Amino acid sequence: MERTLTEVMTRREDVASTSGAQTTVRCEALIIETSDAPEFIDITDEVQRVVAESGVSFGQATVFSTHTTAAIKVNENEPLLLQDMARLLHQLAPLNAEYGHNDFSRRTVNLDEEECKNGHAHCQHLFLSTSETIPVLDGRLGMGQWQRVFLVELDRARQRRILINIVGVAG
Amino acid sequence: MERTLTEVMTRREDVASTSGAQTTVRCEALIIETSDAPEFIDITDEVQRVVAESGVSFGQATVFSTHTTAAIKVNENEPLLLQDMARLLHQLAPLNAEYGHNDFSRRTVNLDEEECKNGHAHCQHLFLSTSETIPVLDGRLGMGQWQRVFLVELDRARQRRILINIVGVAG
Amino acid sequence: MERTLTEVMTRREDVASTSGAQTTVRCEALIIETSDAPEFIDITDEVQRVVAESGVSFGQATVFSTHTTAAIKVNENEPLLLQDMARLLHQLAPLNAEYGHNDFSRRTVNLDEEECKNGHAHCQHLFLSTSETIPVLDGRLGMGQWQRVFLVELDRARQRRILINIVGVAG
């Protein structure tokens, strides 16, 4: 169940090597209207486009959710699988369980007028990530065949803002 | 439950674009005395200060825990919610469950004199992250309104060392 | 259970500060034959070697799995602990539970000829990360004493491709 590399067949392969006189940083936001929760929205093509237009050839792209109840996850875009994962999130932190965060009679912090009971969404976020950092190779995301980038809405239909922040060397 | 961007209302927004003749890398450590577990310690203001003083205007900051039983997590700083999340971590990997890692009669590896039974802390760490990478925009963390960066102590009162590593282009 | 830094003893420590006329980006792939699942394969020494040979002194290294059923995780390499974590992953998303992704009579998407029933592996991946980003300090990974980087095989014996993408300033 656990091995060290000395016993494992491993091979190294050159992928890229570049030095540039200038560092380029490019940040763009994606504004997305979600419609349900949990909802997996495949944003790979948009991220790819932002990377391609950034002019960065080699470096890395961080896809960052600016929200505490919406996450970024890389996995496969297969509809039945997305339902499996939604079900698992629900099992671990059900919508109707008891959350102190939902008890507005006790809460004194960060309460605004339209406050919704979303303790489950914050708790589901515990298992997911706020961001993913992806290599940029030759102006493209260096992802595998089945990998897709998802915005995961955990709360409800909302407007979400995702940052795509690219750091690297241009052309 | 799953949609592709073609059906989703999406808008793109320019945030930043810069090229610099020099790359700046700045790394600072935060040494923190924790006092309990699980404990969420809000380190956002310190991270913000390190970023501001780094001189980096655009790029990214990686907040990295150098420990296997203390994690970095971005979520909301609402006290009842932090208790909800602590409870969930405890449910998933309780302090008093059986862990091979705690069985010092069988363990032969990485045992030091002050070894504590902390299998639960390592297992809770499985759900969390060692680091978070956050965009730096105009010399500030590009986070949303409710986002705060936490050091999550999972083991016990200990001294912890967090790296804040910033890579980008100076002002 | 939750404290802000004003009440916490904190100390800041300079680690590194450098500016370079050139940004270096170096990407190398590690091809690894896994043999079981779940399996934790310690790739730290290989990652360290790629970082050392990249010529980058300060910056960051992203270790990125190009797969949706193999993850990257930083934790301690203690054999009984790795078994504890494997057991926990199995508890949360058992091999033999029901997954829509495994129901080839209903699935219409991403089916290839050698399709295996691996819904559990995708669901276990939900808790783990596709990548970890690690500070590079003086040509080495800036990790703590017990931290090791693992490729976590969740599916079965397969050939896996891991990218090590380094962005920073050369010596």
Q: For residue C143, how many C-alpha atoms fall within 13 Å in the half-sphere facing its CB? A: 22
Q: In this predicted model, what pLDDT tens digit does every residue of C1-41 receive, in sequence order? A: 556 665 666 788 888 888 876 789 999 999 999 999 999 99
- Hey, are the CB atoms on A132 and C127 less than 8 Å from each other? no
Instruction: Answer for the pair A133, A60: CB distance below 8 angstroms, yes or no.
Output: yes
Q: In this predicted model, what pLDDT tens digit does every residue of C90-103 receive, in sequence order? A: 999 999 999 999 99
Average confidence (pLDDT) over A138-158: 97
- Percentage of chain A exceeding pLDDT 70: 94
Q: How many residues does chain C have?
A: 171
Contacts (Cβ under 8 Å, ≥6 apart) of B80: A99, A100, A101, A103, A106, A107, A109
User: Which residue's entry shows tokens 């979600």?
Assistant: A34
3-state SS, C13-60, equals EEEEEEEECCEEEEEEEEEEECCCCCEEEECHHHHHHHHHHHCEEEEE
CA distance linking residue A6 with residue A3, whole number of Å? 8
This prediction's pTM: 0.95
CA distance linking residue B152 with residue B99, whole number of Å? 21
Burial status of residue C108 (CB atoms within 10 A of its CB: 0-12, 13-18, 19 or more): exposed
Contacts (Cβ under 8 Å, ≥6 apart) of C165: A60, A135, A142, C25, C26, C27, C61, C62, C64
DSSP, residue by residue, C84-124: HHHHHHHHHS-TTS--GGG-TTT--SS--TT----HHHHHH
| pLDDT the model gives residue B32 | 95
| Stretch 51-110 of chain C: residues touching chain A, C-beta under 8 Å | 62, 64-68, 77, 79, 82-83, 86, 92-93, 99-101, 103, 106-107, 109-110
Residue A97, token pair as written in the block: 């369980």
3-state SS, A59-85, equals EEEEEEECCCCEEEEEECCCHHHHHHH
Q: Where are the alpha helices (H) located in chain B, listed in sequence order?
A: 44-54, 79-92, 119-125
Give the number of A-B residue pairs with CB atoms closer than 8 Å. 177
Q: What is the mean pLDDT of each run of 10 residues along chain B (171 residues)?
A: 63 82 89 95 96 94 98 97 97 96 91 87 97 97 97 96 95 75
Closest CA to B16 of B59, B62, B61: B59
Average confidence (pLDDT) over A84-108: 95
CA distance linking residue B118 with residue B98, whole number of Å? 11
User: Which residue's entry shows tokens 């310190």?
Assistant: B46
User: Which residue's entry shows tokens 């949990």?
Assistant: A38
| pLDDT the model gives residue C163 | 96
Closest CA to B110 of C82, C151, C140: C82
Instruction: Answer for the pair A3, C42: CB distance below 8 angstroms, yes or no.
Output: yes
CA distance linking residue B11 with residue A161, whole number of Å? 9
Q: How far is CA B12 from CA A30, A164, C164, in A?
A: 5, 10, 30
Instruction: Answer for the pair B35, C2: CB distance below 8 angstroms, yes or no.
Output: no
| pLDDT the model gives residue A53 | 93
At position C161, the amino acid (one-letter code) is: R
Q: Determine the distance in angstroms separating the CA of C46 from the nearest CA of chain B, rounded to an integer.
A: 19
- Hey, are the CB atoms on C123 and A88 less than 8 Å from each other? yes
Given a cut of 70, whether residue A4 has pLDDT beyond it is: no
Contacts (Cβ under 8 Å, ≥6 apart) of C145: none
Q: Is B36 helix (H, G, I), strand (E, B) or coil?
A: coil
B14 touches chain A (CB under 8 A): yes
Instruction: Answer for the pair C33, C41: CB distance below 8 angstroms, yes or no.
Output: no
Q: In this predicted model, what pLDDT tens digit does every residue of C96-124 receive, in sequence order? A: 999 999 999 999 888 877 778 999 999 99
B138 touches chain C (CB under 8 A): no
Q: In this predicted model, what pLDDT tens digit does every residue of C134-157 receive, in sequence order? A: 999 999 999 999 999 999 999 999
- Hey, are the CB atoms on B127 and A122 less than 8 Å from each other? no
| pLDDT the model gives residue A96 | 95
DSSP, residue by residue, chain A: -EEEGGGS-EEEEEEEEEEESSEEEEEEEEEEE--SSSEEEE-HHHHHHHHHHH-EEEEEEEEEE--SSEEEEEE---HHHHHHHHHHHHHHS-TTS--GGG-TTT--SS--TT----HHHHHHHTTSBSEEEEEEETTEE---TT-EEEEEE-SSS-EEEEEEEEEEEE-
Confidence of residue A115 (pLDDT cuts 50, 70, 90): confident
Furthest-apart CA atoms within chain A: distance in Å: 59
Q: How far is CA B3 from CA A67, A78, A153, C163, in A?
A: 20, 11, 11, 29
**Which residue of C lies nearest to B66 if distances are taken between CA atoms?**
C144
ipTM exceeding the 0.85 mark = yes
Kindly tell me the sign of the dihedral angle through the C-alpha atoms of C24, A12, A56, B55: negative
- Hey, are the CB atoms on C88 and B33 less than 8 Å from each other? no
Average confidence (pLDDT) over A25-35: 94
